[in-house]
Structure 1
Amino acid sequence: MTQHAPHTLTIERRLGDWMRARLPYALAEFVMFVLKQGWACLFGICLLAAILGTKAIWQPDWALYRYDALVGVALGLQVLFLALKLESWEEAKVIALFHLTGTAMELFKVQAGSWAYPEPGLLKLMGVPLFSGFMYAAVGSYMARVIRLFDMQFAPYPPFWTTVVLATAIYVNFFAHHFVPDIRYLLFAATLVMFLRTRIWFRVGANWYWMPLPLAAFFSSFFLWLAENIGTLTGTWLYAGQNPLEKVSFAKMGSWYLLLYVSFVTVTLVIRHALHRDAQRPVAPEASDKAAPQQDQEQQA
């Protein structure tokens, strides 16, 4: 069972009450939504801050390479998240799996010339710095945390085995399209066919809202595209033929959109309680807590 510090729940409740007393109700709900989203992607925010901060201060004559320092920062963040119980060990295991699958893809893509990491480092494997896997882990961390923070429920959800097949096909295509025809357009269509009816129910305060799952994936892919521009702007990694001052192609949003399904299906290995075959409204929070003892106590009361 995941136990979280009770003060985070108290802080969120007081903040929500304070804003609802001073802001129009709809605006207060939106601000709380944004703040909870920011709290959910804390790992990614910290990692991006480290990329920006090290780029601003690092000197080429320092004994420690910047890439190696980023490995230390990423490892420290992961240990801190577990120590503060911001992630459970069950979630950490799944995030570690996504870390490994992401690193495998990095190794292949760098060797294929899709992108490169131009700076030196001791902790590099076949041209890939070891911190790169943590960037994929940050996506998994966000998904696990956002589901808990918002009491998310997914309904109606397709048969689980079909989602595993889709995620596997997407992952394999990232490798296979270098040798055989790219089927990403078929995969885009498959995500819509399988998930267009699926609503993501989420709670802000005492109110439930919903969003189509593919739309949420599209919005998430856009913000990941923005984050990726930070990486290339700082020269941390660069696509083939890209100048650091050039923005990342919008086509990469499509890649992130598909990769999000791989990440989501991986995370659902430990949040199966949130998946519902019937098109039902969410259960009451109290009932949800009983059904899912790992429910995050950081959520809004």
Structure 2
Amino acid sequence: MRRTMRGLRHGTEQLVRFGVVQARCCAFAAALLAGIAASRLLPPLPVARYDLVLAYGVLLTLVARKAGWESRRDTAAIAVCHLLGLLFELVKVRMGSWSYPEEAITKVAGVPLYGGFMYAAVASYVCRSRRLMRLRFTRYRAAATTLVAAAVYLNFLTHHWIPDLRWPLALAMAAATAGTWVGFSVGTHRYRMPLAVAFVLIGFFLWVAENAATYAGAWSYPQQLTGWQPVPPAKFGAWSLLISVTFVLVEHLSSAGPERDTGRPEPDRRSPRVSDSFKTG
């Protein structure tokens, strides 16, 4: 009985620790979303809300860099994700997938420039997770994963004109990441899970965050223009695929590259200490 209680207490403590670390990983995204939500509460101003959010996003990026949340190359990786996100937004808004109904000076082809910060926030989460949770990858096939991730990104841009291949691509991603494990630290203990499962879990929480973002007025889907409605669950699957694009970009561009292993097992998760260090850049 005592052993069971100790195990239950340990599991609860680890879950709390995991939640705290995840909150730290989401610091940029949470601050961005809070700023967007707060902008809706402001009284009428001579400056458009979207323009204010852009200025806030730039300021938040500078603060994050100054505070040491990201290394210099992490910031570069996040900037690339921002630019790719803007390209994604330009195509999607033009095709009517969603819209930014308010006016702003900093809108280009219907897309406010702050739109790229949504994708930058996801990249920030990946970068901070790699550092704070000391991620290690076992049997990671970089070439195959990168190729499928690139196809995923292109498919989400081109499926308006050619057949949507997201289901075949989901199977291809499952095959590319089969046998790939991501090891992570919670306190002094090491755990691991399949990389594909990590993509699915992150996709789910991104879908939850998307519901919060659309409620806060970050953007609107067609069915939300007359009143907020939950984002369709199908977007959960889309995010589970798109997170692979961010992961691959950060893997290639971030200064704190994960340690790759072709077969060496992860440290025993019962080990009382984590002996390996993680380069923070």
TM > 0.5: yes
Paired letter, 1:126: A
The correspondence of residues 1-301 of structure 1 with structure 2, limited to 5 A, is 24-55=9-40, 57-59=41-43, 61-158=44-141, 160-242=142-224, 243-269=226-252, 270=254, 271-282=256-267, 285-286=274-275, 288-289=276-277, 293-294=279-280
How many Å separate the matches in 2 of 1:282 and 1:206? 11
Q: In the alignment, residue 164 of structure 2 is paired with which amino acid?
A: D
The residue type equivalent to 2:140 in the other structure is Y
- Deviation of 1:40 after TM superposition, in Å, equals 0.6
State the 1:207 CA deviation: 1.0
Gaps of 5+ in 2: 1-5
- The CA RMSD measured in Å over matched residues stands at 1.9
CA distance in 2, matches of 1:43, 1:235: 18
| CA distance in 1: counterparts of 2:18 and 2:157, whole angstroms | 36
One-letter amino acid matched to 1:218: V
Partner Cα separation in structure 2 for residue 274 and residue 72 of structure 1: 36
User: Displacement, 1:33?
Assistant: 0.5
Change (3 A) 1:178 1:79: same
Secondary structure at the aligned position of 2:104 is classed as coil
More contact order relative to length (CA 8 Å, sep ≥ 6): 1
- CA distance in 1 between counterparts of 2:279 and 2:21 reads 21
SS of residue in 1 equivalent to 2:223:
coil
The question of whether the paired residues in 2 share the 8 Å contact of 1:118 and 1:235 is answered with: no
Please tell me the residue identity of whatever aligns with 1:294: T
What is the rounded CA distance, in whole Å, between the counterparts of 2:263 and 2:109 in structure 1? 47
CA distance in 2, matches of 1:88, 1:191: 29
Q: What is the percentage of aligned positions where both structures have the same residue?
A: 36
Q: Report how many residues are paired.
A: 268
2:259 partner letter: A
CA distance in 2, matches of 1:52, 1:274: 38
- Are the aligned partners of 2:131 and 2:279 in contact in 1 as well (CA < 8 Å)? no
Q: Deviations over 1:216-248 (max 9, x none)?
A: 211111111111112222333111233432100
Flag structure 1 segments of 5+ consecutive residues without an equivalent. Answer: 1-20, 296-301
Once residues 22 and 112 of structure 2 are traced to their aligned partners in structure 1, the CA distance between those partners, rounded to angstroms, is 28
Conserved in 2, the CA contact under 8 Å of 1:153 and 1:282? no
CA distance in 1, matches of 2:26, 2:213: 17
Give the TM-score normalised by structure 1.
0.84
After the TM superposition, which parts of structure 1 deviate over 4 Å for at least 4 consecutive aligned residues? 282-286
Cα deviation 1:175-201 (Å, max 9, x = unaligned): 111111111001111111121322111
- The 8 Å contact of residues 235 and 244 in structure 1, kept in 2 or not, is answered as no
* Residue identity opposite 1:37 in structure 2: Q
Counterpart position of 1:18: none
